[in-house]
Amino acid sequence: MLTSPRDFAALQREGTTRSHALLTARIRRTDLETTRFGLSTGHRLGGAVVRNRVRRRLREVLRVMAPSFQPGWDVLIIARPAIVGADRDALDGAVRRLLRRGGVLEGPES
């Protein structure tokens, strides 16, 4: 996971942005052997219970996709308010589409 303020600043400065109605992804190429993720759930989503639920759902989607990740990427996923009411398939499809468009996920763009 991304935790360092320096990593988040580098993503903000050098990363490319991909957007979807449910979330936004900032993606940056790195020289590391792993792909690291950061999750951002702002107060606009709701209270702490709602934000934590969104983070758990996003982590589960990423855990299932993990074997398909290309190495050497930093990704920040920023949740939008529409994500709160989205079902699992919509969330999975949105994350998969953005990561394919950014080059993080193997396979053809859907």
Q: How many helices (H) and strands (E) does the chain have?
A: 3, 4
Read off the pLDDT of residues 49-79 as tens digits, 9 standing for 90 and up. Answer: 999 999 999 999 999 999 999 999 999 999 9
- What average pLDDT values come out for the chain (110 residues) when binned by 10 residues? 91 94 96 94 97 97 94 96 96 96 77
Domains assigned to the chain: 5-102 (3.30.230.10)
Complete edge-to-edge strand list for the sheet that includes strand 35-40:
16-19, 23-29, 73-79, 35-40
This prediction has a pTM of: 0.91
User: CA-to-CA distance for 53 and 61, rounded, in angstroms?
Assistant: 12
